[in-house]
Structure 1
Amino acid sequence: MSTTLHGAPFGTGPSGEPVLHGRRCLTCGHASFPRQPYGCEACGAAGPGDPLDLPAAGTVRAAATVHRHPDPRVAVPFTLVSVRLDGGPLVRGVHAGTAAAGDRVRARLEGEGDRTALRFESERR
């Protein structure tokens, strides 16, 4: 059982760690994120599938540092990462520092209420 934060695609699990609300296809078993009712992106089976809470940890597959942004209110630089979650799906997000392919990362929740965001950070070695 997990807690959803204001309808966000993530929440907190029983241990208080962030989880991503995904789905598992009833036909092929493919795990995907975010949870949606339209069907499987792998095999095309219709329906919402089974709800699946994915641990918000994985391995960076690619990273890019953004040095310029068209909105002056957005602080730069920041790093975008593609993360292969331990539970299967590939997700993209913002890293709290710098990251490179192969780094282990874990997500943490930032902010409060409707302004809660998920941000990846490198795991301590």
Structure 2
Amino acid sequence: MSDTTLYQRLGGDSGIAALVEDIVEAHLQNPAIQARYLPAKDDPAHFEELKGHLRDFLSAGSGGPATYRGRNMLEAHRGMNVNEVEYMAVLDDIQRVLERHGVDEPTRQEMLGITYSLKDEILHV
């Protein structure tokens, strides 16, 4: 395996920022999950805060310099009752965006493993 961190392989701060923008846009366009994201867009300050949390979460979780100060996954998703279709739609959107950004297959698989590992903190909580 490469000596580069996942953060570096995702393109550092600028790469992660671009990924988050495109992932959120993909979620907004995805009929399976757009209803979860559209209300946030109605409040621009909240929407930017959400994207900031996603950037920090991805940076911190991939070995980058950011500090994630948002809620943990269980608390963030408690009461949402996310189902399997929605969860898989999120994973699929992430994978498509990573591929569109030219992220290599091993890195995409690593990201899939990480996102899949959070399943129990997101599904039906």
TM-score when normalising by structure 2: 0.23
Q: Higher helix share goes to which structure?
A: 2
Point out the structure with the larger strand share.
1
Larger Rg: 1
TM-score (norm 1): 0.23
Larger RCO (alpha carbons 8 Å, 6+ apart) = 2
